Amino acid sequence: MKRAFAPLLAALMLATAPMAVSAADEKVVYHINDSAVARAAMNNVNNHLNASPDAKIVVVTHGKGIDFLLNDAKDDKGDYMGQIAGLSAKGVKFNVCANTLKARKLDNNAVVQEATVVPSGVAEVAKLQAKEGYVYMKP
């Protein structure tokens, strides 16, 4: 009986092993395509990091979502630089879609220094999910 049970136990252990994910293995992409939610999204990211300080977080923007990452961007609460700088210091990466910049006739220098321009925002979201194992969040 013990021999029959051992393979079953081993299979059960292998099946549940991926569920044991540490915060260091936690990878999340926050997708922003409308800057109207930018402040709330950054609050979500900050709360996420408070709960899981070692999580890897990438914020990917395109369309109207890039607006808060443009130089001198602000809303009725002021500029975004404090939040962006604070999250960047915690390891959060900010990506801006080059297609959006091109469509709006902006060059890469139009974005804040904390942001990285990627060829396509939507392709970046897909790559992070499909090839790098990031979980998708849409604030």
pLDDT by residue, tens only, the chain of 139 residues: 555 556 655 555 555 555 555 556 899 999 999 999 999 999 999 999 999 999 999 999 999 999 999 999 999 999 999 999 999 999 999 999 999 999 999 999 999 999 999 999 999 999 999 999 999 999 9
Residue 11: the pLDDT is 57
What DSSP character marks residue 26?
-
Q: Are strands 78-79 and 27-34 parallel, antiparallel or unpaired?
A: unpaired
Q: Which domains does the chain have, with CATH numbers?
A: 23-137 (3.40.1260.10)
The per-residue pLDDT for range 86-98, each reduced to its tens digit, is 999 999 999 999 9
CB 71 within 8 A of CB 114: no
How far is the C-alpha of 123 from the C-alpha of 114, rounded, in Å?
Answer: 20
Residue 10: the pLDDT is 56
Which parts of 1-139 are beta strand (E)?
Answer: 27-34, 56-64, 74-75, 78-79, 93-97, 115-118, 135-137
Q: Which of 135, 134, 79, 139 is nearest to 112 (CA)?
A: 79
> Could you give phi then psi for residue 80, rounded to 5 degrees?
-95, -5
